[in-house]
Amino acid sequence: MLALRALLSGILIAIISVVSRRYPGLGALIASLPLISVLGMIWLWNDRPDVENMARHSQATFYYVIPSLPMFLLIPMLLRRGIPFPAALAAGCAITILLYLLTVAITARMGVRL
């Protein structure tokens, strides 16, 4: 089952890559769809059909999506300023990690367990 899950997830990533070469906007649209999140929820439900666990997982996914969004603005800004892709990607990942940590801290104060 793990191999099937990995294969299906890999196929989605490959489709996004191939489409993005010719149509960057369409590739971005496909990538922005919560396909991996939905697949993850399906796999999780299949393994553990627990309502509370699924609700917590779905809610946590929401809170983790928000701090990941600035990365998609930072990377193109850095690339357009001449920053090499590996450095721009690293900066985007670093800001996302920092924002994840901040999100965990803020949501904990709000009583939300991630």
The total of other beta-carbon atoms located within 10 Å of residue 51's CB is 8
Core vs surface per residue 13-29: b (16+ CB within 10 A) or e: eeebeebbeeeeeebee
Q: Residue 113 pLDDT more than 90? A: no
| Predicted TM-score of the model (pTM) | 0.78
Q: Which residue in this structure is represented by tokens 């993850």?
A: 40
- At 80, the pLDDT band (50, 70, 90 cuts) reads very high
Residue 5 pLDDT greater than 90, yes or no? no
Q: Encode pLDDT of 84-98 as tens digits.
A: 999 999 999 999 999
Q: For residue 51, give Cα distances in angstroms to 10, 33, 55, 57, 59.
A: 28, 23, 6, 10, 12
